[in-house]
A and B are shown apart, each in its own frame.
Chain A
Amino acid sequence: MSLRFGSVLLLALASLVSAQDKPSLVIKVKRLHVGDGTVVEGAALVISGGKVSSVVGKDVAPPAALEVIDIAEAELTPGFVEAESRVGMLRGDADNEEGRETTPWVRAVDGIDKANPGFAALLRTGVTTAVVLPGDRNVIAGVSCAMKMVPGAAEVLSEEVAIHAVIGRGPTIRNAAFRGGEATMFTRRPTTRMGVIAELRRSFQEAMGRNQPGWEPLYPDREGFALARIGRGEVPVAFVAQDAAEILAAIRLCKEAGIPRYRIGGTIEATLVMDDLKAAQISILIGPLFNPGSGPEKGGAISDPRRLDKAGIAFAISRGNDDTGSTLLDLARAAARGGLDPNKALMSITSAPAKVCGLDGRVGTLAVGKDADFCVWSSDPMSPTSRLLVAGIGGRIVWRESTASAKKE
């Protein structure tokens, strides 16, 4: 009796163990892009416990799984990482908390509506992770967060990605005196780029000063507390700097104050200051990109990514403030048309932005142990003919094209 009971228990345990061992999902495709530049032909992605458990090539039979998806002609990529977005912000919150010019304690994650349809819309373009910025109307706008695009119930990947600082005219918009009249005490400041930079300098010096031995705050304040963390390098500063002059200003400011961790985003003129970027050894986010010729040329050229790559500067592509309807993948495709190696173009929207944003421990590639965030495309994703068939986050299929299953059968 006891023996029988024991064996049953053992069996139950064994089945429990095997159920845990058995991968939850295996996806077989024609070509798998790991996201770090490697491409595996005839591959299968093996997922268990929401993580990538292995990637097997065509010579190895994938293990039995609870669910198998086999789309012979398809290509699989990691889910894309959008490094600068406003997705999920409540209406109006995409601007800023304008009580002050520097609000480093304000957190974007507190303004997010997790059921916002924007998450699902972004997911359909292949983006599974997006860093949400607190806005660009403040000099120091606040703390960005990273979200995963689960439709209807977006998940927080990181509550704190970076503290966002905006150089340039963004924070001066609407600050000018009413109808060109005299600036009064009611006029919001700063009103010029030099004013913005002066405000940043004051903040950074305070950030460093807070960490001097013997410094005693007169009273504990939320701004000083947040700034001190920048000074200690606990959280990086993420600049939004469009022009070459603004990129140089960011580098200069951080050098002056000795800010240990920072990066530069939203740039469209990085190719003009490549030597300075190289010397400073910082990572950058570029975008939006535009084609040669007419149209709204407020972006970098599509040949910029190739030039930066040639110069050995680490970069990722983000949509930045692109409002023309181009997707992140469109930008990578344009970079490839501009001469960047297609594999590197794919990296510039997967592993590269994950690394720039410090999220590479979890997302950006399909290396073993990373979150199983993936997209299955009908053909080469770098071609405009490819269509998103399936998207998964954390090993769970969160979006499936209605015709994809029909085609499979």
Chain B
Amino acid sequence: MRILRPIIACAFLAGLMPAQDLLIRNARLIPVSGPENAKTDLLIRDGRVSAIGEGLKADLSTLVIDAAGRAVMPAYVLAATSEGLDRPNENMEVTPFVSVLDSIDPTRPFFDDSVRDGVYSIHILPGDRTVIGGSGRVLRPTGRVVEDMTIVPDGSIKISMVPPQGNRASQMAKLRSAFDDAKRYLDNKEAAADSRPSGSLKLDMDRLAIDRRRETMARLLKKQVTAFTYCGEPGDVIRALALATEFGYEQRLVLAPGTWKAADLIAADKRPVVLTPEMDVEEMDPETGKMVRRELPAILHKKGVAFAATARPTSLGQRYLWYQAGSLVRMGIPRDVALRSVTLTAAEVIGLGKTKGSIEIGKDGDVLILSDDPLSGRAWVDSGVIEGRVIYERRSDRRLTEVLGLGDGKN
């Protein structure tokens, strides 16, 4: 026992101790927030970026990685997804009281893939087949349980303007009644609280009690959480903006490519938006009868709207954020804007613009060392770092080495 105690104490201290310093040498740095740097060093101390520049000194205890001219960029940020859940939606339509906390399965291969692909901040929300879907949460893909993985708990709520059944009028009626109900609840609560100093001895305990089923909606109305509102067509955008104005809550639009006709309204709203993994749509021009491809990001970019691109693990390309960024360039969007849409803008949309999404001094040390340029289409994550800790090395990725023979770096 006497021998064990110091060991336990050491182990305890090791857990508390900050991460080892990490120095990445000879990086082709893509900070995203500014211009690229062909050759520089990057120091991460206490989990945060502490120095960028050539010839940085390493302590004896510093872990040094030589990037040897490889690209080093901030870890990708996935601004909205419904992966990693047992099922994306509850059967009931209005379920603001549920939270993805209870639905996320940390053992899902989605999280392994996210580690492998360098997506280190993931905003998981309930799916689109809903009216009000419940609370979302931002996680990193590593950790034993959801609490370990969490970066931001219950900071968002899912709303859909696209009816899972019925028409849009009934969808709107259901939304409005849910908001009316929440408003009444909030007003009652505030009135009850106000009545206290007035000297009334009779407190209505029912009115004071916290109703957990209504609390999330109340927090939305108090602007303590942000709504992520899925819109499938231009009319959905109009209704979503009107609803947010009417009830006064903070909202980010999640836009399918069919909403392109509402680009002016989206631009006037001045908030950054989230794009669905499908970013373009083919439509028949009603006058010429010809098929026309509408590229929502290109239209939004022209109007000055900042957007985050997202990915979905169905098709070969769309499951990768780098592919999505490449697609944005294909649509005529500048390279830096395209890269920002899967890093910094994505972080800003989910309220993490100050800590994630770019390599800047003071920000979290979430960085990737890539085998090639991120938009080359052939890049793999060689090393992945979360808050200064190396959490992934391609050469020791068993799935890539054993199953695919891809981990050796020689390909």
Query: Are these two chains actual partners, yes or no?
Result: yes
Chain A positions within 8 Å of B, measured between CB atoms, are 117, 120-121, 124, 288-296, 301-303, 306-307, 324-326, 330-331, 333-334, 336-339, 342, 378, 382-387, 403
Closest Cβ of chain A to B85, distance in Å, is 13
| Contact (Cβ within 8 A) A325 B404 | no
Contact of A333 among B110, B332, B377 (CB under 8 A): B377
| Contact (Cβ within 8 A) A292 B313 | no
Chain A residues closer than 8 Å to B200, beta-carbon distance: none
Cα A338 to Cα B404 with chains together (Å): 9
Whether a CB of chain A sits under 8 angstroms from the CB of B288 is: no
Whether a CB of chain A sits under 8 angstroms from the CB of B248 is: no
Whether a CB of chain A sits under 8 angstroms from the CB of B391 is: no
Contact of B319 among A124, A295, A333, A378 (CB under 8 A): A295
Given contacts A337-B378, A383-B377, contact A326 B316 (CB under 8 A): yes
Q: Which residue on chain B has the smallest CB distance to residue A120?
A: B291
Chain B residues closer than 8 Å to A378, beta-carbon distance: 330
Per-position binary interface string of chain B over residues 102-133, scored 1 when its CB falls under 8 Å from any chain A CB and 0 otherwise: 00000011101100100000000000000000
Chain A residues closer than 8 Å to B375, beta-carbon distance: 383-385
Q: Which residue on chain A has the smallest CB distance to residue B327?
A: A384
Given contacts A338-B404, A384-B327, contact A295 B377 (CB under 8 A): no
| Contact (Cβ within 8 A) A330 B317 | yes
Closest Cβ of chain A to B354, distance in Å, is 30
| Contact (Cβ within 8 A) A336 B377 | yes
Cα A307 to Cα B403 with chains together (Å): 12
| Contact (Cβ within 8 A) A307 B317 | no
Closest Cβ of chain B to A299, distance in Å, is 9
Given contacts A296-B314, A339-B406, contact A384 B109 (CB under 8 A): no
Cα A128 to Cα B324 with chains together (Å): 25
Q: Which residue on chain A has the smallest CB distance to residue B116?
A: A293
Given contacts A292-B400, A384-B330, contact A325 B315 (CB under 8 A): yes
Q: Which residue on chain A has the smallest CB distance to residue B411?
A: A339
| Contact (Cβ within 8 A) A330 B405 | no
Q: Which residue on chain B has the smallest CB distance to residue A303?
A: B404
Closest Cβ of chain B to A344, distance in Å, is 13
Given contacts A293-B112, A330-B317, A382-B378, contact A303 B326 (CB under 8 A): no
Whether a CB of chain A sits under 8 angstroms from the CB of B318 is: yes
Cα A65 to Cα B411 with chains together (Å): 44
| Contact (Cβ within 8 A) B330 A387 | yes
Max count, chain B CB within 10 A of own CB: residue among A117, A295, A330, A384: A384
Closest Cβ of chain A to B87, distance in Å, is 16
Closest Cβ of chain A to B329, distance in Å, is 4
Chain B residues closer than 8 Å to A326, beta-carbon distance: 315-317
List 7 interface pairs A-B (beta carbons < 8 Å), by A numbering. Answer: A293-B313, A325-B318, A336-B378, A383-B377, A384-B317, A384-B326, A385-B327
Chain A residues closer than 8 Å to B411, beta-carbon distance: 306, 338-339
| Contact (Cβ within 8 A) A292 B403 | yes
Cα A338 to Cα B406 with chains together (Å): 7
Task: Beyond A293-B109, A385-B329, list 7 extra A-B contacts (CB 8 Å).
Answer: A117-B291, A293-B116, A303-B406, A331-B316, A333-B378, A334-B317, A337-B380
Chain B residues closer than 8 Å to A336, beta-carbon distance: 377-378
Closest Cβ of chain B to A163, distance in Å, is 30
Chain A residues closer than 8 Å to B326, beta-carbon distance: 383-385
| Contact (Cβ within 8 A) B378 A290 | no
Chain B residues closer than 8 Å to A325, beta-carbon distance: 314-315, 318
Total residues of chain B contacting the partner, CB 8 A: 39
| Contact (Cβ within 8 A) A295 B314 | yes
Inter-chain CB contacts under 8 Å: number: 100
Closest Cβ of chain B to A250, distance in Å, is 26
Whether a CB of chain A sits under 8 angstroms from the CB of B239 is: no
Cα A292 to Cα B322 with chains together (Å): 16
Q: Which residue on chain B has the smallest CB distance to residue A307?
A: B405
Interface residues of B in 284-301 (CB under 8 A from A): 291, 293
| Contact (Cβ within 8 A) A324 B109 | no
| Contact (Cβ within 8 A) A291 B316 | yes
Whether a CB of chain A sits under 8 angstroms from the CB of B91 is: no
Per-position binary interface string of chain B over residues 323-351, scored 1 when its CB falls under 8 Å from any chain A CB and 0 otherwise: 10011011110010000000000000000
Per-position binary interface string of chain B over residues 375-396, scored 1 when its CB falls under 8 Å from any chain A CB and 0 otherwise: 1111110000000000000000
Whether a CB of chain A sits under 8 angstroms from the CB of B399 is: yes
| Contact (Cβ within 8 A) A330 B316 | yes
Chain B residues closer than 8 Å to A307, beta-carbon distance: 405
Whether a CB of chain A sits under 8 angstroms from the CB of B86 is: no
Chain A residues closer than 8 Å to B399, beta-carbon distance: 292-293
Q: Which residue on chain A has the smallest CB distance to residue B112?
A: A293
Q: Which residue on chain A has the smallest CB distance to residue B410?
A: A339
Chain B residues closer than 8 Å to A293, beta-carbon distance: 109, 112-113, 116, 313, 399
Cα A383 to Cα B60 with chains together (Å): 41
Given contacts A303-B404, A307-B405, A339-B406, contact A294 B315 (CB under 8 A): no
Cα A342 to Cα B109 with chains together (Å): 29
Chain B residues closer than 8 Å to A386, beta-carbon distance: 330
| Contact (Cβ within 8 A) A292 B108 | no
Max count, chain B CB within 10 A of own CB: residue among A120, A293, A330: A293
Per-position binary interface string of chain B over residues 45-89, scored 1 when its CB falls under 8 Å from any chain A CB and 0 otherwise: 000000000000000000000000000000000000000000000
Cα A75 to Cα B39 with chains together (Å): 29
| Contact (Cβ within 8 A) A383 B405 | no
Closest Cβ of chain B to A30, distance in Å, is 17
Chain A residues closer than 8 Å to B317, beta-carbon distance: 326, 330, 333-334, 384
Closest Cβ of chain A to B90, distance in Å, is 23
Chain B residues closer than 8 Å to A333, beta-carbon distance: 317, 377-378
Closest Cβ of chain B to A193, distance in Å, is 26
Whether a CB of chain A sits under 8 angstroms from the CB of B282 is: yes
